[in-house]
Every structure is written in C-alpha cells, then in structure tokens.
Amino acid sequence: MSELRLTAEEQAMLAGELGPGVQKAMDIVVTLGRIYGAPDLVPVTHVQIAGVSYKNIGDAGVEFLADWADAGARVRVPTMLNPMGMEEARWQEIGFAAAFAQPQLRAIGAFAKLGVQQTLSCVPYLLPEAGLHFGDHVAWAESSAVVFGNSVLGLHTNREGGPSALAAAVVGRTARYGYHQDTNRRANWIVEVACPVHTVAEFGALGYLVGQQVGNGCLWFADLAAWLPPLAEDITQGGAAGDRLKTLGAALAGYGAVALYHIDGYTPEARQHGAALLGPAPQRLRIDSLAPAYAVMDANPEVTAIDLVTIGCPHASLSEIEAIADYVRGKQLRTRLWVTTGRLIRARAEEAGWVQAIEAAGGMVVADTCAVVAPVRQLGIRSMATNAGKMACYAPAHSGVTMRYGELEQCLEAALSGTWPAT
C-alpha cells in the first residue's frame, strides 16, 4: 500500500475526534485510498447513494444504516438517494405488503437521520437541486448516473459502492484515484457505429452491444455525434439527446461496467481536448447492426400478453413524461403502465398536467421506485415490456419476469391493448 497524505482535519476524523460515525466513514475512505494507491483525498461537492431498496439490502442493510445513523454521523455535502422499493405516498394503493413497507420506511428514516435528501431517484443529473458543474468531483454509487455524470456533464466520479458513497458524504471527501485523475480519463477503446441509431430503444441496444464487449473500458465513440441531436442547454429537462444518452449509459454500465465515454466533437471533454483523450494503443470495436442486441434483449418473443409496461429506466425525464402524456391523453389503457421517476420530477410533471393525463388513462407516474428495485412479483406481475436497455437487462434476473423490448410506441400500444403489437 502506498503513502496517503491526510490533512490535520482528516487525521482528526480518522482518530475519532469527531465521533465514532465520522471515524467509521473516514476509515472506509482511507482504506479504499490505500488499496487503490491514492495520493490524497479530494473534496466532493455531491454524493448519490445506492443500495436503498429493502429488496436488495435486506434486514442486515437496514440494521447497518440504523447503527451508523445512531453513531452520530451526518452528511456534510448535498447527498441524494437512489430509488427504494416502493412509492412512499401510495405503497398501499399500489399493493405492496406492510411486511415489506415497514423495514423499507425504517431504512429511509435512517438515511433521513444521516441528513440525506429523500430524492429517491437514479437521475440526480436531472435535478437542478443537485447544483452540478463541469469538473466537479462527486461520489456517486448509481452506475447509470456515474456514466452520465462523467461523460455528459464532465463530472469526476468512480463507481462507488453504497457504503463508500455514504462514507464520502459523511467526511465530504473521497480518495483521489480512478476517474478523479485526468490520466485515467483517456479512452482505451475506439468504437465506430456503422449502422443507424435513432431512438431511445436503439441507443439501449447499442449500449448492450458495446457494454458486453468492453467491460470497464473507457470509450471513444468516433462517429456517434452524427446520430445525436444537439445537447440541450438545460440537460435537467432530458430532451432528445439527454434521453438517448441516459439509456445508452445505463446499458453500457448494466451490460458492461463502463463509467466514462467520450463522443468525438460532442461530449464536453471531447470538445475541449479532442483526440488528446485517446490513450496509447486503444482497442477497436465496430458495430454494424443492432439486430444481435434485440435477439437478446427482446428476450421472450413468444410472450404477447403484458402485465406491466414500464418506462423510465433510468428514471423518466420531463421530456419523456410529456411524450407519454401526449400519446395516451384521452385514451384508456388495458394493462398496467408505470412511468417511473423521482418525486421532484413527478411534481414538476404534475404542474404541467402530464401526470393527470397519464393517470386519467389508467397509467401511473410512480415515484421513488422502479420495476427492478420494487418487489413486482408480489403484485402478480409476470411479464413486462420496456424501451429501456437496463430494464431489459436487470428485470428478468432481479424480478423474475419475461421481457419484451422495443420502441416507446410499441410499449404504449401494448399498454393500450394489453398485448405486444405484431410488427
């Protein structure tokens, strides 16, 4: 293990002078720093914590959080929470069991005691409240947010684990290694995309094909800008480009372990530094067709009856909610539709009247959760449809459902008719 320099304040934290909760957090941050050869710690401006759903953390996780909160630890930088296993306001109405809800509420109570904001969303980058700026060092644990933050916003973050992100929030620092160091932000893969990529579903399919080839590589997309609309000035709205990049990154992180990509002439660091971001002797990958991705992601073509159509993985943006509201307004759905998003985004969509349009049609704009981290089998759901690459990857394994994967319009037609539309 190499030498890790600590300031006097950091040494005091490690020695327990600020209490046992802070000491435990600093111990985690310092241990990681020593393992990864960090020279020092870097202050972080924002933290995103994952590992919130009782479905994933279980009783041991709830006890761990409660103990840490009881030890007097408090976050010292703005810290937000990933989705939990249910919507807080309507868990009974939706049908979740009290045996699930009670420990889940205890877990988010512990986070509240620690000072963590109850955003319960995997898209902190769509929240103006996060106050993110190009070049900020942050500590994020949600893998889809990590890749969006690093790549599209030019943030610096590693893929934190749940406890290490919480530790960073408590001490306001993380160890300076990995993507916090500029030398590690150079691409070791050049990816060429030789087939058309237009829609959110197609960007998810591209993410699958690339992610499962490159592992945790850092990517240089040589020609992807040609298939993307311009990045919106205000990315918190989502927008045509933001929605595509949101799903691309989630699939890259879900099927691989990508935390950073650059798009030549498009993403902020690529615009600033150009080909200087290419590392020595990068490997090459060329994508000629998206068809192999659909063969895997549209996993159950024999299934046509759909129990749940789910849109919003990562959580839906305002632009996605608006488009869904426009599609279903004045119609009546025949099967369940969940548009999953964060409670702050839901409130904004409600102000615009979009939530009412979707719910009048029989759908739900579900806050705080998603169909991966919620125990959907408890609700009798056996077959799902989505246009989100990460959902297609995770839901069959995590929620034990069959999966149809396709365009937003196909998903919404399935919600209207109850069956997956023939092509």
What residue ranges bind ligand F3S (CB under 6 A)?
Answer: 82-83, 122, 144, 250, 313-315, 340, 370, 372-373, 390-391, 394
Of 42 and 251, the one with the shorter C-beta distance to ligand F3S is: 251
Shortest reach from residue 311's CB to ligand F3S, in Å:
10
Of 52 and 168, the one with the shorter C-beta distance to ligand F3S is: 52
Shortest reach from residue 162's CB to ligand F3S, in Å:
13
Q: What angle do CA 281, 287, 288 make, to 5 degrees?
A: 135
Kindly compute the dihedral angle of the four CA atoms of residues 297, 302, 307, 310, in this order, to the nearest 10 degrees: 20
Of 260 and 393, the one with the shorter C-beta distance to ligand F3S is: 393
Of 42 and 366, the one with the shorter C-beta distance to ligand F3S is: 366
Q: Do 282 and 184 contact (CB within 8 A), yes or no?
A: no
Q: Do 336 and 308 contact (CB within 8 A), yes or no?
A: yes
Alpha-carbon span 386 to 396, nearest angstrom: 12
Shortest reach from residue 226's CB to ligand F3S, in Å:
27
Of 285 and 296, the one with the shorter C-beta distance to ligand F3S is: 296
CA 75 to chain centre: 21
- Retrieve residue 118's tokens: 């109850």
Distances (CA, A) of 49 to 6, 170, 195, 199, 343: 24, 12, 36, 29, 16
Shortest reach from residue 253's CB to ligand F3S, in Å:
9
Alpha-carbon span 391 to 385, nearest angstrom: 9
Shortest reach from residue 250's CB to ligand F3S, in Å:
5
Shortest reach from residue 163's CB to ligand F3S, in Å:
18
Of 251 and 306, the one with the shorter C-beta distance to ligand F3S is: 251
Shortest reach from residue 369's CB to ligand F3S, in Å:
8
Give the 3-state secondary structure of 120-181: CCCCHHHCHHHCCCCCCECEECCHHHHHHHHHHHCCECCECCHHHHHHHHHHCEEECCHHHC
Of 117 and 340, the one with the shorter C-beta distance to ligand F3S is: 340
Shortest reach from residue 340's CB to ligand F3S, in Å:
6
Q: Which residue has the tokens 């699939």?
A: 251
Shortest reach from residue 51's CB to ligand F3S, in Å:
11
Shortest reach from residue 388's CB to ligand F3S, in Å:
7
Of 38 and 141, the one with the shorter C-beta distance to ligand F3S is: 141
Of 212 and 419, the one with the shorter C-beta distance to ligand F3S is: 212
Q: Do 158 and 36 contact (CB within 8 A), yes or no?
A: no
Alpha-carbon span 361 to 318, nearest angstrom: 18
Cβ contacts of 414 within 8 Å, gap of 6 or more: 306, 309, 335, 385, 404, 420, 421
Q: What burial class does residue 408 get, using C-beta atoms within 10 Å of its C-beta: 0-12 exposed, 13-18 middle, 19+ buried?
A: buried
Alpha-carbon span 121 to 141, nearest angstrom: 12
Omega into 314 within 30° of 0, i.e. cis?
yes
Of 14 and 127, the one with the shorter C-beta distance to ligand F3S is: 127
